[in-house]
Amino acid sequence: GDSGLIALGVLNEVARAAGKGIDVPSRDDNKQSFMSAWVAALPPPSEPWHPLLWSEGDQEVLQSSSTSKIYRTLDDIDEDATWLTEKVWSKDREKFPEKVSWNGVEIPCFTAEGYKWAMALISSRSIFCDGALRLIPMLDMANHEDKGEEIVGGTMGAFGTTKGATMTANRAYKTGEEVFCSYGPKSAADYLLEHGFCPKKAWKTAVSELTFEVDSEDRFYDDKLDILEYETYDLAPMDPTQSFDLVSETGRDGEPDPAMIQFLRLC
């Protein structure tokens, strides 16, 4: 899925920062310097900063205390890494090195361990923006604050024709002060599994996942599939089966996802 593809991109950036990996022809020296600095600032694979990197004992506790099973995720990661090792990485270890030098130490790269580290990075630092999962270097460094604003899709350039992302300050910040954002309305379990922590606001937040499907027996089924592919809310193609989060907090009704409303109108 998207997480795996982005994880491979992260590993390639780690390899490129060490003088290996697959070249990106369109990137100039300034962009590569920026990406190398970003790679150097990533949390290390040797520390348990994410549930995917926890000890087996801690993962066992998490497995038993949540309906979202971490072992299922770990099994999927291991299965993907095994396939990639056999079919891709082992074929060219010059482009896909097993280890690289990172901040003065050797770390795993195109291996099962390196892939798990990259997936932990994607889980904790990526966002859904314009209907797709995205990892945006520099913006991914912003920590969560309950009162912060979510990062949303936007445009750049004089004519607004280049896609980008917008991060809006929730208050006036002083020079040098840390800037926060919100990682979005999620349940306590999702925050713990995806980010490795649980903010106080999530303790009082209820999240329900609702799944809807376009009826395959509908006489306009093919037409609706075309609409999902070309005319969706965020311009990103949608599958005929979609899941949406319905979020509610104490003393406040949650606002429905605009994409969910549009999908239900189509159904």
Domains and CATH numbers, the chain: 1-125 (no CATH), 203-266 (3.90.1420.10)
- What does the block give as tokens for 142? 């912003």
CA distances from 98 to 31, 47, 78, 110, 111 (A): 25, 19, 16, 5, 6
- pLDDT at residue 122, as a whole number: 96
- ∠198-63-189 over CA atoms, to 5°? 25
pLDDT tens for the 267 residues of the chain, in order = 789 999 999 999 999 999 899 988 778 889 889 999 999 999 999 999 999 999 999 898 888 766 567 888 999 999 999 999 999 999 999 999 999 999 999 999 999 999 999 999 999 999 888 778 899 999 999 999 988 888 888 877 777 778 888 889 989 999 999 999 998 877 788 888 889 888 887 777 777 778 899 999 999 999 988 888 776 545 556 788 887 777 776 666 666 777 788 888 888
- pLDDT at residue 232, as a whole number: 56
- Residue 200: closest CA among 213, 191, 209: 191
Separation CA 37–CA 113 (nearest Å) = 22
Q: Which residues contact 86 (CB under 8 A, 6 or more apart)?
A: none
